[in-house]
Structure 1
Amino acid sequence: MGYVAVSGGSEAIEASIRLLDYYRSGTAKDLELEAIEHKLSLLVDRVMGEAGLYSRTYAALALKQCEGSVEEAVFLLRAYRSTLTRNYYSLPADTGAMRVVRRISSAFKDIAGGQILGATYDYTHRLINFSIESENAAALRTEALARLDRETPEEITPCPRVSDTLKKDGLVDSYPEDDTPPYDVTANLLEFPAPRSARLQTLSRADTGYISGLAYAALRGYSLSHPTVGELRCGYAEICVPYLFDDAECLFVGEILLTEAELLTEADDTDKLKLAAGYGAVFGRNDSKAIAMAILDRELDSGGPYPPQQEEFVLTHGDSMEMNGFISHLKLPHYVTFQSKLDAVRKTREQCNE
């Protein structure tokens, strides 16, 4: 359930909305959707992931409409998503065959297919570059494209998973095959204990800051152990739907950019002979959320006593729209309930003074 805080008479509300137009306009210069979509791509990716709708253009439009507020953009995009007709269910995407643009491993130096740093701020100096204020965007784009054309190999081959060899050797636990249709949390009420498909879907759509905070708490000691990034990859995965007239065939409908993480850690106390894996996958480029999601996936398997290990606590409180909506509802009039609190305090003070 989402809360929307609205108060005041109709005239006050209309005036408030007109004032929003003033703040949103900001300047006479217009902000084009293309600029938001491509120059604020990490912000667009976050909104798409938390909204559960892969559309860069609509995510950019939502951000423009709400002055860059992530939670408001997620609200708008989810509301629009709820109006769309669901014509097909895609087949499981083979992320092992994705067209990789970034791929690293903290577990091994030399991995099959090589380490691919890709586009990341991890290795920058993190100092403000004041020259960007007056940069030539067209020239920068032309130069970057020319450099990519020279450096990109003619044929890109799929990179095998780092954990595949460990799983073949029996050193890492694999999740058992499950042919049960994925639990759709957008069409069904989340119940506990939740199936793993519901857990992963909920974590993927959860607020990035919330997920990262819980993962950080787990790493600081409220968890099993310190995990290792077996593999972090970002790339384009093909999306296919079943062919209507032949179940053995499928139709390619497009590709989406995903970030996927697999973390390795010690198994539980009953099995010291294997490692266990946690998994995370999110829309777009979002390393931190994919890693945080993989940490919590493993923590929730343990069912331990700490908050990051409690399924109901983790899955119930991370939804961006629910979280911000419930907090926003505090702006609604609470005159009667607050007066009752005051009356109770006054009555208690009178009894103490008698």
Structure 2
Amino acid sequence: MYVAVKGGEAAIEQAHRLLADRRRGDRAVPALSLEQIAGQLSLAVDRVMAEGSLYDPDLAAMAVRQSRGDLIEAIFLLRAYRTTLPRFGYSRPIDTSRMQIERRVSATYKDIPGGQLLGPTFDYTHRLIDPAMATDEEVAAPQRQPRRERESCPRVMDILNDEGLIEPDGQSDSEPADLTRDPTDYPAARDLRLQALARGDEGFLLSLGYSTQRGYGRTHPFVGEIRVGLVEVEVEMPELGFAISIGRIRITECQMVSQFKNTDGEGPRFTRGYGLVFGQSERKAMAMSLVDRALRADEFGEQRMAPAQDEEFVLEHCDNVQATGFVEHLKLPHYVDFQAELDLLRLLRREDAERAESQEAAE
């Protein structure tokens, strides 16, 4: 605590009040409601939920409001709140093949069973500021589209899998690790790596994913399929003997097709990268799938030469809460440490001066 600052705790209290005042902004402008943030800044809320590893749009919107729009601070707040919640158990693995699809695209096949579903996306908009954003003019609602059922939208990856042209999806019946409860040991299993990537910083993973495309861990990727939509969350009820649905969550799933390898004597096959995050966050899911494939270098006998292939480097630095804490702690008092460095520097400079004087006297 900055007790050495003039005013001590009273100054800190005033800093809190000033922060609250700045957060509120101009009183002549109506205050933002949680409904407005969750509804109109939904992609920011989705990122906070994904990297905060807690699916609750209202809490995420509250964190965005409290942090004045600083998303990493909002993620920190949500992550901290998560630690106070009791844990009742684990849900069953979600079945994304049963997703109520809102958006679904593939870059590998033009015509796919069920068709391409563009959905809400910036992909086809002009990257220009729209003057209409300066007003509160109502936008016409889109026409209702028929719901896409799972039978009409089979997985694109299954097309390759049916021909034996891609590795199996790697599903396992073993109990997955829990990153929030167990310490990370290296080498880490893929399930733990995926957990770390799912709540990792989007910008960090985006840069790493981009680096793999530029040759630093080249994988030559293609987007097999991106799906955005709602999935059921089910929990086993021992007293009932079957699972029940406790609600639906919106997720983004990306299956990346990467360069082929000849493994297990099965002949050359494409390999996979996988990404899944809360909400609509295609950039994050794509970056995650690129880094996931890069981290699998050892599985395919590839030499690990690039940052995205270095498991410990990626997993130890992708968490923005840890990174923020370590960087921002530099703002806290380091008076004793600095004085020690300062005294050492002065001593070294005196010794240098004394040596120089001795040399001059000897000459």
Q: Give the superposition deviation at 1:279.
A: 0.3
Once residues 219 and 177 of structure 1 are traced to their aligned partners in structure 2, the CA distance between those partners, rounded to angstroms, is 26
Q: Which residue number corresponds to residue 23 of structure 1?
A: 22
TM-score, normalising length: structure 1 = 0.92
Q: Give the superposition deviation at 1:89.
A: 1.2
Q: Which residue number corresponds to residue 148 of structure 2?
A: 156
Larger Rg: 2
The equivalent position to 1:173 in structure 2, one of 167, 176, 186, is 167
Once residues 197 and 75 of structure 1 are traced to their aligned partners in structure 2, the CA distance between those partners, rounded to angstroms, is 23
Once residues 117 and 98 of structure 2 are traced to their aligned partners in structure 1, the CA distance between those partners, rounded to angstroms, is 15
Q: Which residue number corresponds to residue 339 of structure 1?
A: 339
Q: Output the amino acid matched with 1:99.
A: Q
Q: Hey, which bits of structure 1, 4+ residues long, moved more than 4 A?
A: 268-272
Range with greater deviation from structure 2 (39-48 or 189-198): 189-198
Question: 2:296 aligns to what SS in structure 1?
Answer: helix
Q: Which residue number corresponds to residue 241 of structure 1?
A: 235
- Is the CA contact 1:268–1:302 (under 8 Å) kept in the aligned structure 2? no
Once residues 168 and 350 of structure 1 are traced to their aligned partners in structure 2, the CA distance between those partners, rounded to angstroms, is 76
Q: Which residue number corresponds to residue 298 of structure 1?
A: 293
Q: Which residue number corresponds to residue 44 of structure 2?
A: 43
Q: Which residue number corresponds to residue 14 of structure 1?
A: 13
Q: Which residue number corresponds to residue 3 of structure 1?
A: none
Once residues 175 and 63 of structure 2 are traced to their aligned partners in structure 1, the CA distance between those partners, rounded to angstroms, is 31
Is 1:215 paired with 2:209? yes
Once residues 106 and 49 of structure 2 are traced to their aligned partners in structure 1, the CA distance between those partners, rounded to angstroms, is 26
Task: Give deviations 1:272-293, integer Å, cap 9, x for gaps.
Answer: 7111010000011111000000
RMSD: 1.5
Higher relative contact order (CA 8 A, sep 6+): 1
Q: Which residue number corresponds to residue 361 of structure 2?
A: none
Once residues 216 and 156 of structure 2 are traced to their aligned partners in structure 1, the CA distance between those partners, rounded to angstroms, is 27
Q: Give the superposition deviation at 1:348.
A: 2.1
Task: Give deviations 1:218-277, integer Å, cap 9, x for gaps.
Answer: 211101332000111111111111122243x21011111000001111134768711101
Q: Which residue number corresponds to residue 269 of structure 2?
A: 274
Range with greater deviation from structure 2 (42-51 or 300-309): 300-309
Is 1:185 paired with 2:179? yes
- Is the CA contact 2:219–2:293 (under 8 Å) kept in the aligned structure 1? no
Once residues 262 and 156 of structure 1 are traced to their aligned partners in structure 2, the CA distance between those partners, rounded to angstroms, is 19
Note the 1:196-211 alignment, pairs <5 A. 196-211=190-205
Q: Which residue number corresponds to residue 360 of structure 2?
A: none
- Is the CA contact 1:239–1:256 (under 8 Å) kept in the aligned structure 2? yes
Is 1:323 paired with 2:308? no
Q: Give the superposition deviation at 1:132.
A: 2.1
Question: 1:42 aligns to what SS in structure 2?
Answer: helix
Question: 1:267 aligns to what SS in structure 2?
Answer: strand
Once residues 72 and 183 of structure 2 are traced to their aligned partners in structure 1, the CA distance between those partners, rounded to angstroms, is 22
Q: Output the amino acid matched with 2:97.
A: G
The gaps in structure 2 that reach 5 residues or longer are 299-303, 356-363
Once residues 210 and 334 of structure 1 are traced to their aligned partners in structure 2, the CA distance between those partners, rounded to angstroms, is 28
Once residues 177 and 47 of structure 1 are traced to their aligned partners in structure 2, the CA distance between those partners, rounded to angstroms, is 28
Task: Give deviations 1:69-121, integer Å, cap 9, x for gaps.
Answer: 11111111111111111223111110011011111111111111111111100
Question: 1:67 aligns to what SS in structure 2?
Answer: coil
Q: Give the superposition deviation at 1:7.
A: 2.3
Once residues 220 and 226 of structure 1 are traced to their aligned partners in structure 2, the CA distance between those partners, rounded to angstroms, is 9
Question: 1:225 aligns to what SS in structure 2?
Answer: coil
Question: 1:216 aligns to what SS in structure 2?
Answer: helix
Q: Which residue number corresponds to residue 262 of structure 1?
A: 255
Range with greater deviation from structure 2 (219-228 or 97-106): 219-228
- Is the CA contact 1:91–1:241 (under 8 Å) kept in the aligned structure 2? yes
Q: Which residue number corresponds to residue 135 of structure 1?
A: 136
Q: Which residue number corresponds to residue 125 of structure 1?
A: 126
Note the 1:67-82 alignment, pairs <5 A. 67-82=68-83
Question: 1:172 aligns to what SS in structure 2?
Answer: coil
- Is the CA contact 2:219–2:294 (under 8 Å) kept in the aligned structure 1? no
Task: Give deviations 1:184-225, integer Å, cap 9, x for gaps.
Answer: 111111221112111111100011111111111121110133
Q: Which residue number corresponds to residue 110 of structure 1?
A: 111
- Is the CA contact 1:103–1:232 (under 8 Å) kept in the aligned structure 2? yes
The gaps in structure 1 that reach 5 residues or longer are 1-5
Q: Output the amino acid matched with 1:257.
A: R
